[in-house]
Structure 1
């Protein structure tokens, strides 16, 4: 196995955009593709490592860029959420940028465009749920510590993509009423969905850079991180079988 990275420049509303693909260059033929949607900070090394882990499972990982080429923040930025907030205020634009990112994944020569999925973290979790809501051409989506508020626009009556929601039960950004609201929404839309709730875990439970966080309801949780990755692996195997 030889995992390689490739920078991909692609078009979309407000672009250009710059994503990163990871794949096993020794594997024969097209294989399933997984779109990876980052958290509030946008595309970064942490997401590229996730793409490599996806590639090691036998898929192609592609880190989406929803903000635009060169538009990134860090936790030390004056306003780390500036680009995220702009998209939260314009969910149709978020939807259209997700579609552009998915089209870039489908266009990769290593990818079997009939077998794709999307995963996302925090804001990326919200984003992949929106992708499912909007009828994105994926077999399924996985949200890790996502946000669940609906987008405010009409979407297809039936959500075709399967959904796996991996949720830290102590997450203050998605309290129990938001979780049950999402469940009701997905059920009303006829979706095939499942929810994994992790006790003692809060927002950002997969983010190892947040180890030792003292902020209530936020921070890394090794058990939830390990268990949610295993749940995702099984979910993707079922999708792509």
Structure 2
């Protein structure tokens, strides 16, 4: 295995330029499936790069994307919340930026354009779900402790991508009621969808920096992390075969 990476600057509507990192195994030959990795609300960081690298080790091209623009990230929670709130008030921009990331991935010679998927964490989970809601032509999306609400601006089109939501049942940002609404939406729009709910588990359960007890309803959970990753691996193997 010879894992390689390169930074990519790409253009898109609603801002930019955007800066992401492509990861792949140079020992593999020919085009292979590509998977977007959408970051949490504080911007693209080592966590998302590691996930993209792990996807490369599984035989995919992993692309850690940027939905803020110019590779922006922050360690300041207040700045991160402000950036996320501004983008949440402009959901067409979020969807368009994810579509730009998908276009950039498909343009890479290493990627089979007919076999693409997207995964996302926290607000990145919302980002990949919004991409699917656009009717984007990708095989599947996976949201880890994502935010589930549908934007008023989402087009009324069928969802063709398969959808997997990996969800902490005690997540205060995605209540059980919102999970039921989400399921009804997916069914109504024809999406092949699954929701795996982990009991006694809150938001950010894949993030080791989210110490349990620091914030009600938030916290890293080692079992949910391992189980959700295995679920994602099986899902991608199925939809990208």
TM-score for the superposition, normalised by structure 1: 0.96
Greater displacement, 146-155 / 91-100: 146-155
SS of structure 2 residue aligned to 1:178: helix
CA distance in 2, matches of 1:172, 1:8: 35
Report whether the alignment pairs 1:175 with 2:187.
no
Residue in 2 that maps onto 1:67: 68
Residue in 2 that maps onto 1:12: 12
CA distance in 2, matches of 1:56, 1:70: 24
Residue in 1 that maps onto 2:59: 58
Superimposed CA distance per residue, residues 195-240 of structure 1 (whole angstroms, 9 cap, x where no aligned partner): 1000111000011122344322101000100000000000000011
Residue in 1 that maps onto 2:146: 146
Residue in 1 that maps onto 2:94: 94
8 Å Cα contact 1:135/1:156 also seen in 2: no
Report whether the alignment pairs 1:25 with 2:26.
yes
Residue in 1 that maps onto 2:163: 163
Superimposed CA distance per residue, residues 9-40 of structure 1 (whole angstroms, 9 cap, x where no aligned partner): 10112111100011001110010000000000
SS of structure 1 residue aligned to 2:152: coil
TM-score for the superposition, normalised by structure 2: 0.96
Instruction: Output the aligned Cα RMSD.
Output: 1.1
Q: What are structure 2's unaligned runs of at least 5 residues?
A: none
Residue in 1 that maps onto 2:225: 225
**C-alpha deviation, 1:77, in angstroms:** 4.9
CA distance in 2, matches of 1:154, 1:216: 31
Greater displacement, 49-58 / 203-212: 203-212
Superimposed CA distance per residue, residues 108-129 of structure 1 (whole angstroms, 9 cap, x where no aligned partner): 1111111000000010001111
CA distance in 2, matches of 1:210, 1:150: 26
CA distance in 1, matches of 2:65, 2:95: 13
**C-alpha deviation, 1:79, in angstroms:** 2.1
**C-alpha deviation, 1:78, in angstroms:** 4.0
Matched residue count: 240
Superimposed CA distance per residue, residues 32-90 of structure 1 (whole angstroms, 9 cap, x where no aligned partner): 0000000001111111111100001110100110011142111x354222221121000
Q: What are structure 1's unaligned runs of at least 5 residues?
A: none
Superimposed CA distance per residue, residues 112-171 of structure 1 (whole angstroms, 9 cap, x where no aligned partner): 111000000010001111111101121010000011111102424321000000000110
Shift in alpha-carbon separation, 1:171–1:239, aligned structure 2, 3 A = same
Residue in 2 that maps onto 1:210: 210
SS of structure 2 residue aligned to 1:231: helix
